[in-house]
Amino acid sequence: MNESPLGKNVVEVDTTVPVWEQFFTVAPLVLIGTSEEDGSLDLAPKHMVTPMGLQNYFGFVCTPRHNTCSNIQRTGMFTVSYPTPSQVLVTSLAASPRQEQGGKPIIDYFKTFPAKQIDGHFIEDGYLFFECRHYKTIDGFGENCLITGEIIAAYADDKFLRHDEADDQETIHDSPLLAFLAPNRFAAIDHSNAFPFPSAMKK
């Protein structure tokens, strides 16, 4: 039997349905904070998130069906909280469905603190926090859109910051990171290795 031209053990993935639930991928997991029309807080977990280039821009995938999208269009701002592995249950509960009246009462039980430069809130005990001014929304990814923002303020738990006097692996071991293994699992990352960048590589 001839080996597949794609390589040993490589099989074709069904693209007649979305591919993303047919394998695992590693992603961050964050809580996007926005303000509802009545001034109440909304927190929504998102894992399709990424830096938008090497400057202070941030983006995430959303859908116009969610209040997160309409809240950002209305207010022009949002917050980003990065939870720790111990907060995975709280992060999950933020995805609870809304009541018929439109509210999400579970949010009232979250411990939060206010942003400084925008009207917004962060979840307590996270490790990284961004205040973002809406930059632009790009529609047309099926039923989804890409929302981007400029990071105008950022805060972090000092234990998670890189320091010259600390080894990067020790920092990650002592302060594990929460990873979402899409579509339905999570992991705490407490071990890493230095990436072997080519010596001549430039950003």
Query: Which pLDDT does position 14 carry in this prediction?
Result: 96
- pLDDT value of position 105: 78
d(CA 192, CA 1): 40
4 has pLDDT over 80: no
Asked, for residue 159, whether it belongs to a domain, the answer is yes
Question: Is the pLDDT confidence value at 161 over 90?
Answer: yes
Averaged confidence pLDDT in the chain: 93
Predicted TM-score (pTM) of the model is 0.92
Q: Is residue 125 part of a domain?
A: yes
Q: What is the pLDDT of residue 107?
A: 86
Residue 14 lies in a domain: no
Phi then psi for residue 69, to 5 deg, are -65, -50
Q: Would 93 be classed as within a structural domain? A: yes
pLDDT band at 6 (very low <50, low <70, confident <90, very high): confident
Whether 87 is in a domain gets the answer yes
* Residues in contact with 68: Cβ distance below 8 Å, sequence separation at least 6, in sequence order: 32, 34, 42, 44, 46, 62, 78, 147
What percent of the chain is modeled with pLDDT above 70?
96
Rg (CA), the chain: 19
pLDDT at position 202 is: 79
Q: Which residues, in sequence order, are bridge partners of residue 148? A: 59, 136
Q: Where are the alpha helices (DSSP H) in 57-99?
A: 67-75, 88-93
- Which pair of structure tokens corresponds to residue 103? 């509210």
Tell me whether residue 111 is in a domain.
Answer: yes
Number of domains present in the structure of the chain? 1
What domain range is 30 assigned to? 24-189
The reported pLDDT for the residue numbered 82 is 98
Residues 122-157: tens digit of each pLDDT:
999 999 999 999 999 999 999 999 999 999 999 999
Residue 1 maps to a domain:
no
Could you tell me the CATH number of the domain that includes residue 108?
2.30.110.10
Q: Is residue 137 part of a domain?
A: yes
